[in-house]
Structure 1
Amino acid sequence: MHPCVFTILSLMMLRLVTVYGYHQLVAVEGGGGDDTNGVIRNKCLDMERHALLLFKAPLQDPDGSLSTWRPDEHDCCQWKGVTCNNQTGHVTELDISDYNLGGEISQSLLNLSYLNFLDLSYNSFGGTIPTFFGSMTRLTDLKLNSNNLNGTIPRCIGSLTELRHLDLSANSFYGIIPPEFGNLTNLQYLYLGVVGRCRVENLHWLSSLSHLQQLGMDGISLAKQNHWVDVISSLQSLSWLSLDGCELSQVMYPYSSSFLNSSSSSIEVLYLGNNSLTSSMYRWLFPLTTNKLQILDLSSNMLDGIPKYLGNLCSLESLSFANNSAVVKFPGFLYTLSGCTSLTLQELDASYNQFIGPLSDDIQKFSSLRHLWVSHNHLNGIISDKVWELPMLEEIDVSSNSFRGAISKNIGKSKAFEIYLSENQLQGVPSTDHMSNLSYVQLIDMNSCNLGPHFPKWVQTLRNLTRLHIANSKISDKIPMEFWDTWPSQLRYLNLSSNNISGEGPDLSSNFDNGSVMDLSSNSFSGPLSNVSSTLALLNLSRNKFNGGISFLCQMVGGFLEVLDLSHNLFTGKLPDCLWHLKLLKVLNLGHNNLSRRLPPSIGYLRELEVLDLYKNNFSGELPLSLKNCTSLNLMNLGANKFSGNVPVWIGENLWGLYVLILRSNNFFGTIPLQLCYLENLQVLDLSMNNLQGTIPSCLNNLTSMVRERFLPPPPPNTYSILTNWIIKKSGNGYSNSSEYVDHATIEWQGDEREFSRSLRLLKSIDMSSNNLTGQIPYELTDLYDLIALNLSKNSLLGKIPLKIGQMKKLLVLDLSKNFFSGGIPSSMSQMSLLNYLDMSFNNLSGRIPTSTQLQSFEPSRYEGNAGLCGPPVSKKCPGDEESEVPLVIGKSKGEGEDVDEVWNWFHIGEGCGFATGFWIACGALLVNSHGRRVFFHFYDGVEDWVYGKVALFIEDLRRVAYM
């Protein structure tokens, strides 16, 4: 007998015995608790309560989500996640999704005989899906999505013949989708988007599911499924179909010609995104696109336009064409949709393409349009006045295009709630009279438009405004004081950054909703701050002229503050000892001010703190012991202060998550603690310009982030991650506020100070220069293969340079100057082909300088002070050299300037394939397609992020190769 059959029969017998025993128990106890009316009270049965406790027993519950499931609590119907039938008391629903549970799923669930809804999604269960689910014949809704279940999908699941709903999505299955799913003939809802390594060998089993109404197979390979359109078309009840990322572009013959003219598809919702489809697919799409179709998603493919028949779908309400390769005129695109589709279409997403031309008057034909997204294209000309007259329009996003001219006076006629005009060449605004008619608008984004030089008074007429973004808008003016009294406690987002707004600092004590965002950075505000609202989640006042103390922090009691950036101002005084109020704080940046005295002990209450930046102040004294309680720290920059004492050992013992540690330019003394070697995530270590003594720890090769390439994947949406950008999103009423905090740090680079921001996570650097370190360079240091900058200059180091230093092939910067090194320059250094900055001057080195493109390309001054060195590029000839001058190896002169070609070479090293693989893991499809590339590199600006810029070129190069 097949094992699956034996298991199912056994469990069926167990279930029969259990149910029989229960009914006998009811008979003995007088009907199981009937009240005077003969109706069972809403109180769970002992047998089912016991089954739930058995289910809980093997689970891992780190958050205590099932804390109400206790033996002493007799009514399990009151337990979290449990629902019972009001009349029978039987457990009918078990919803424990997103509880962070793990461990074994117990078969005690079989004793819940009347369970009709089970949701175990968004947990961390492991192993294969338990085979006992095949015996749960009463179950009508099963959800296991977004767990970490591994292994193949068990074929026994095909015995669940009573199932109506089956959801196994977002797991880690692999292998073939069992054709036994075809036995589930009563299924109405089937979702197998496992986002794993599953594939379908034969899709014909799907034809048996004649009652199927919804089907999701996202991420499952259908590459071998010729005629899959025939199978889908045979499902007469199917109304919802999602085949996102199913490798459909590899299907050779997706349909039979007989379906071209005889299709009777009932599909209303169709998702086909992320399949690399070209426009040739429109032939097989035709049978699936009848006039019943309401939602069509063709995003993230390689389509260069749309066919005419899409304009004749008289029920189509939503069309997503985002992130394709279409280089077409937008008026022509609208014309194609101008049939009856133009009367029903409510959502049009054509963003992140290469559309050209204007937003023409043809838009007026789309009278039902509610949402229009055409951002990140190459649209130009003026924005048609007709767009503001669309009677149903709620949201319009035309940002990041090349629209020009004045903003239309007709904007006052719009009924839109959200208006995005940012990143265009728009200038000026209509009069206050016209703008005051925007009584509906709640969000307006004119970032990087030309609104100046005067502060736009029309803003104060928008009484329903909750989000205002007019950063970088060339405003050089003072803000009217009444501006801050315009909105009664409804403002959720205000961004006036990167203008030249002046005047006294505003009263920030009111007018903000809970969890709001305020960014006034990079302006010319001045004066002290006395009152700040405790409802703010992000406050960025950096790069202004604020002065006075920061005692206002003590007023933010019970607040929501998560990000506070007061850097680059003129604040003075001490950091007040009241920080226990800021328990949610994740970023504290007070760098580049005149703050002084010791750090307060209350800083240890910031248990959620991930960024602490106090760079360039006058803080003094030893670091408080309480700081070791900030175990969530990822970046700690205490450089350029007057801190003293030993480098605390608890930094390495407690702050294990650090990836940036900067203690440069202080008064630390003593030896470098070995505990720093515990910081496996450390990528930037700067101990320079202190009074440190002793030797360089040989255990530095334990800093594994510098030993191997390790790029972390992007964070999930709406979460924080210090390795990317800080994102705050507070949603309400259907829309969200967003802002960001980007890590940055000032680091000595090629002899100069430079501020790294978005490229900081790519940097792997050690700087121990300007101390009193002695001894030799430990040979273990050369194991840091991924290091790109090493500065040990201005110490008292001696001995020979390690022979294997050349295996650090990714070094761009190497400074060993002003020490007492002796012997020759190791020949292995000729392998360091990426060196962009080298200084070995003022040591006791001797012998011939090894020959390589890089070593001979530096100025002779980089080798001066070593009387024994000979050979190019120094003038001294080595013994045996011919009288004729030895020509320099052809290469680029490095000097003091930066050479971005060397960064380019860094990404083309010998193990380039491995690097590219790691980089794809880090960046994923976000960077492969033009959509993600434009978003990810949108913020690159200027010299400080030249490393980041070369990464962009690298990605573009790989993309071209991929599509050749």
Structure 2
Amino acid sequence: MNLCVFIIISILLLLTTTTASQLVAGGEEGGDDRNGANMNKCLEKERLALLLFKAPLYDRRGILASWRADNHDCCKWRGVTCSNQTGHVTGLDISHFDLGGEISHTFLNLTCLNHLDLSYNSLLNGTIPRSIGSLTRLRHLGLSDNSFYGTIPPEFGNLTNLQYLNLGSVGRYRVENIEWLSHLSHLEWLRMDGISLAKQNYWVDVILSLRNLSYLSLEGCELSKIIYPYSLFLNSSFSSVESLYLGDNNLTSSMYRWLLPLTSNKLRFLYLSSNMLDGIPKYLGNLCSLETLYFNNNSAVVKFPDFLNNLSGCTSHTLQLLYAIGSQFTESVSDEIQKFSSLKSLDLSHNHLNGSISEKLWELPRLQTLDVSFNNLRVPSTYHLSSLSYLHFIDMRSCKLLGPRFPKWIQTFKRLTRLDISNAGISDTTPLGFWDMWPYQLDYLNLSSNNINGKVPDLLSNFAKYSAIDLSSNNFYGPITNVSSTLLSLNLSKNNFSGGIAFICQIFDGLLFLDLSDNSFIGQLPDCLWHFKRLKVLNLRHNNLFGRLPPSVGSMTELEVLYLSKNNFYGELPLSLKNCTSLKSLNLGANKFSGNVPLWIGENLSGLYVLILKSNNFFGTIPLQLCQLSNLQILDLSMNNLHGIIPSCLGNLTSMVQQEFLQGVEFYKTSVNYSYEIETYVDHAIIQWQGDEREFFSTLKLLKSIDLSSNDLTGNIPYEITNLYDLIALNLSKNKLSGEIPSTIGEMNNLLTLDLSRNSFSGRIPSSMSHMSLLNYLDLSFNNLSGRIPFSTQLQSFNPSRYDGNTGLCGLPLPKNCPVDEKSKVPPPAGKSEGDEEDIDEVQRWFYIGGGMGFATGFWIACGALLLNRHGRHFFCFFYFLFYDSFKD
């Protein structure tokens, strides 16, 4: 709303104040005196106050569209509640409206307001308005998750009717004096997450004075910095708190002395995650109402049997949910677990547990979900178990000692709906009857990354609606005949499946993820892809599929990843593919596609960051439209029949200039308790890297590469290409390029690999290349280059074969001396005098210095040097993940 409208509404508000006040007074004194015509309309003064309140707000999503001057009944505006008796505005709830801007003080004219919630917006007003403290009728106040800063106004102590107060994550806030809180005697619900209480040594006493408080959340409040007097709590009574959140405070076990008064037998929920606790005290085992305990991400080492022992008082009979994800638990899941007879959910994933899982665990009568993934637990393949009636979720991912036999005890759990035993060292066939033993239907099955073999008879009848199946990286074989029509995710990659893929036509439009790669599927891609309007990832690479792509491929408008490489598809790309405007990664390499590289790739697929068309039969020139792909990080058009020049506009590929990296593709993997679990898809692709093909996984998003090799390109290298400062790999080999190498090529000082071999380049090697200090692969062989090879640590370190076929070249590392070498010493590098230090890259220097102390020491010293400079951080990350991928392979 512009300034003029704001002023007009302000004047109208002033003109109507007296009349509105009289109407209000009349209504309050004589009851509801409004006639029938006005029964559904709000008071004019309050309507104008709301319009003024809206004026400085930025409504990004148009949620306040009903707040208009020509809409006279504000009681029907979104987020507004009025009294049925008086017409006064009693509630204003605009939480989660994604509003920006400032808070106007005109809400003070809403004198009957008892509910005000501005949470989860981006409101900025400096400090929280002190004037809120004058709204003494408020029972509900929510200001959380905004962008305020400063201190909490002590005037909030005037809000003595408050029952609900949410100040969590309001911004950069602190409390100078918490005394005002003790005046809110009716308070039942309090959240102050992220607000510093570091100076409030007596805050526990203040909380204990709130006799009606049942919910308290103080996450990230710097409680570890508080110094508690020894006299504290001597005369205090126990609190009424039922739910207590104290996570992310760097608390050590010394905190338990002041936690004691806040815990009573009313406490049902306790959240102690993200601290530094080395266990729990025995008194927590005597909380006879405690039902839920969160102990995630605590950094101190804890023996799990000791942890259970300290909880084994009356708490062991009431505790239902125990979550200790990502802590430092050691030793085994011992027999003490049998004492927890009410336990329904146990999550000990991502710890350091070892030894065995006690059989007593399986005897817990109410256990429903169990997650012990990413530990080193020993799980026998056989257990002597009776059928458990409640257990429906088991996750034992990466429990390496689960195998090698397939755990037959799984068939004991007839109510299982979720099972994950991936990467568990199993080398066996699936037990007889495994695929039809699920009377309650599975909604999640993950057997991936084992060595399981056998046929898969049916993926139809035993899977629930919106289920997910992952059988990847095993030795399953044979055809797939039936699949569930409502699958959310299906991953059959890296097996030996065969036959056609017509079964995908049985799946309808709920599918989000489909990966059939690295199998022996054969036949054509069926023309039923219009089913997949929500599909995010389609990977069919490395099979024996053939034929033309069907027109229905263009129906997948939400598709972000399309991999069809290493098949036998042929023909031109269908025009309908341009409708897949959400594509980020397109890999059609190693097929028999033909025709021109389509112009619409650059015009319509603007979000692409990977484009791989290598090893096909594309001909014609490189279209200028590809230069419009500003997000492009990987361009591979190698091994085709392209001719003409390299477009100079490739130097405008923005993402190859800036040190920014795109994130992976996110999709919803499976439903969990009626919500969805988000999965990030790790792109992978085979790239020509330093003379060999290499498959990149985690590092792909860090790689920035152009490969135009093995074509019939002519002309010069455009100097604009050298503007791609963040490019890591450039391969122009095996073309018919000519002219001189651009003198500015040395400005591409982030290049790790450069291949210009087997062309017709002439002239000297540019002296600027001596500054390419990160270059570790160079091939200039079989050109017409001449003159001295510039002096630098890199250029002299390469094998002489990288300069073969250039008869006019001389100087190290070639055995051929330049004429000047026979008469005098080698001249200093270009741009340096004899008195300058050697032109050795800083990182290499640290390698040399560290070399005297051993390779490992030198490596880490060099890493330190990398991390200290802007470019170094980029390459440290890249090399780290490169080595990670190597070990992964």
TM-score between both structures, scaled by the size of structure 2: 0.84
190, 199, 217: which is aligned to 1:215? Answer: 190
Cα deviation for residue 61 of structure 1 reads 7.9
116, 138, 160: which is aligned to 2:112? Answer: 138
658, 674, 682: which is aligned to 1:742? Answer: 682
Q: Corresponding residue for 1:412?
A: 386
Distance 2:713 2:705 in 1: 18
Q: Corresponding residue for 1:730?
A: 671
Distance 2:857 2:764 in 1: 29
Residue 157, structure 1, aligned to residue 132, structure 2: yes
SS at match of 2:773: coil
Residue 257, structure 1, aligned to residue 230, structure 2: yes
729, 732, 745: which is aligned to 1:789? Answer: 729
Distance 1:187 1:169 in 2: 16
Residue 321, structure 1, aligned to residue 271, structure 2: no
Cα deviation for residue 580 of structure 1 reads 1.8
Q: Corresponding residue for 1:347?
A: 321
Q: Corresponding residue for 1:295?
A: 269
Query: Aligned AA for 1:303?
Result: L
2:785 touches 2:809 (CA, 8 Å); kept in 1?
A: yes
Map 1:948-959 → 2, pairs under 5 A: none
Once the two structures are superposed, residues 302-335 of structure 1 have per-residue CA deviations (whole angstroms, 9 ceiling, x without a partner) of 3333345444545443332221222232223333
Cα deviation for residue 13 of structure 1 reads 9.2
SS at match of 1:854: helix
**Residues 573 and 393 of structure 1, relative CA distance in 2, 3 Å threshold:** closer
Q: How many equivalent residue pairs?
A: 854
Residue 121, structure 1, aligned to residue 110, structure 2: no
Cα deviation for residue 665 of structure 1 reads 1.4
Once the two structures are superposed, residues 83-135 of structure 1 have per-residue CA deviations (whole angstroms, 9 ceiling, x without a partner) of 777x65x8xxxxxxxxxxxxxxxxxxxxx72333x432323211123322333
Residue 595, structure 1, aligned to residue 545, structure 2: yes
Distance 2:792 2:265 in 1: 69
Map 1:433-512 → 2, pairs under 5 A: 449-452=403-406, 459=410, 462-472=413-423, 483-487=434-438, 490-512=441-463
Percent identity between matched residues is 60
358, 370, 375: which is aligned to 2:349? Answer: 375
1:711 touches 1:919 (CA, 8 Å); kept in 2?
A: no
Q: Corresponding residue for 1:394?
A: 368
Residues 261-270 or 630-639, more deviating: 261-270
738, 741, 753: which is aligned to 1:798? Answer: 738
Cα deviation for residue 465 of structure 1 reads 2.5
SS at match of 2:554: helix
Q: Corresponding residue for 1:672?
A: 622
Distance 2:243 2:423 in 1: 41
**Residues 191 and 374 of structure 1, relative CA distance in 2, 3 Å threshold:** same
Query: Aligned AA for 2:522?
Result: T
SS at match of 1:759: helix
Map 1:33-112 → 2, pairs under 5 A: 33=36
**Residues 583 and 49 of structure 1, relative CA distance in 2, 3 Å threshold:** farther
SS at match of 2:793: coil
2:400 touches 2:425 (CA, 8 Å); kept in 1?
A: no
Residue 829, structure 1, aligned to residue 733, structure 2: no
Distance 1:417 1:609 in 2: 33
Query: Aligned AA for 1:678?
Result: Q
Cα deviation for residue 616 of structure 1 reads 1.4
Cα deviation for residue 371 of structure 1 reads 3.0
Q: Corresponding residue for 2:6?
A: none
Distance 2:570 2:619 in 1: 14
Once the two structures are superposed, residues 356-376 of structure 1 have per-residue CA deviations (whole angstroms, 9 ceiling, x without a partner) of 222222333444433333222
Cα deviation for residue 190 of structure 1 reads 1.6
2:478 touches 2:498 (CA, 8 Å); kept in 1?
A: yes
1:540 touches 1:564 (CA, 8 Å); kept in 2?
A: yes
Distance 2:777 2:189 in 1: 61
Query: Aligned AA for 1:626?
Result: S
Cα deviation for residue 573 of structure 1 reads 3.1
2:488 touches 2:670 (CA, 8 Å); kept in 1?
A: no
**Residues 142 and 230 of structure 1, relative CA distance in 2, 3 Å threshold:** same
Map 1:563-712 → 2, pairs under 5 A: 563-711=513-661
Residue 183, structure 1, aligned to residue 158, structure 2: yes
Distance 1:611 1:370 in 2: 39
Q: Which runs of 5+ in 1 are unaligned?
A: 1-6, 35-39, 91-111, 428-448, 713-721, 894-898, 924-936, 950-964
Distance 2:617 2:249 in 1: 58
Query: Aligned AA for 1:333?
Result: F
2:646 touches 2:718 (CA, 8 Å); kept in 1?
A: yes
2:387 touches 2:412 (CA, 8 Å); kept in 1?
A: no
Q: Which runs of 5+ in 2 are unaligned?
A: 1-8, 827-837, 849-854
Distance 1:201 1:756 in 2: 53
Distance 1:232 1:908 in 2: 48
Query: Aligned AA for 2:697?
Result: S
Cα deviation for residue 730 of structure 1 reads 1.3
Query: Aligned AA for 2:755?
Result: D
Residues 569-578 or 334-343, more deviating: 334-343
Once the two structures are superposed, residues 547-567 of structure 1 have per-residue CA deviations (whole angstroms, 9 ceiling, x without a partner) of 3433344444x4311211122
Cα deviation for residue 233 of structure 1 reads 4.4
**Residues 283 and 475 of structure 1, relative CA distance in 2, 3 Å threshold:** closer
Cα deviation for residue 142 of structure 1 reads 2.4
Distance 1:901 1:647 in 2: 49
Distance 1:774 1:594 in 2: 35
**Residues 241 and 829 of structure 1, relative CA distance in 2, 3 Å threshold:** farther
Cα deviation for residue 742 of structure 1 reads 3.1
687, 690, 698: which is aligned to 1:758? Answer: 698
1:769 touches 1:794 (CA, 8 Å); kept in 2?
A: yes
Query: Aligned AA for 1:412?
Result: S
1:635 touches 1:658 (CA, 8 Å); kept in 2?
A: yes
Cα deviation for residue 275 of structure 1 reads 2.4
Distance 1:147 1:519 in 2: 39
**Residues 736 and 725 of structure 1, relative CA distance in 2, 3 Å threshold:** closer
1:295 touches 1:319 (CA, 8 Å); kept in 2?
A: yes
1:670 touches 1:693 (CA, 8 Å); kept in 2?
A: yes
Distance 1:561 1:49 in 2: 49
Distance 1:511 1:675 in 2: 49
Residue 522, structure 1, aligned to residue 522, structure 2: no
**Residues 420 and 916 of structure 1, relative CA distance in 2, 3 Å threshold:** farther
1:352 touches 1:375 (CA, 8 Å); kept in 2?
A: yes
SS at match of 1:492: strand
2:686 touches 2:693 (CA, 8 Å); kept in 1?
A: yes
Once the two structures are superposed, residues 722-764 of structure 1 have per-residue CA deviations (whole angstroms, 9 ceiling, x without a partner) of 615544131346x877876432222112222222223222222
Residues 178-187 or 660-669, more deviating: 178-187
2:404 touches 2:427 (CA, 8 Å); kept in 1?
A: no
Q: Corresponding residue for 1:775?
A: 715
Once the two structures are superposed, residues 394-443 of structure 1 have per-residue CA deviations (whole angstroms, 9 ceiling, x without a partner) of 3333222222252673553655443333322444xxxxxxxxxxxxxxxx
Once the two structures are superposed, residues 541-598 of structure 1 have per-residue CA deviations (whole angstroms, 9 ceiling, x without a partner) of 2223333433344444x43112111222233333233322221222111211222232
TM-score between both structures, scaled by the size of structure 1: 0.78
Distance 2:15 2:404 in 1: 77
Query: Aligned AA for 1:450?
Result: P
Cα-Cα RMSD: 4.5
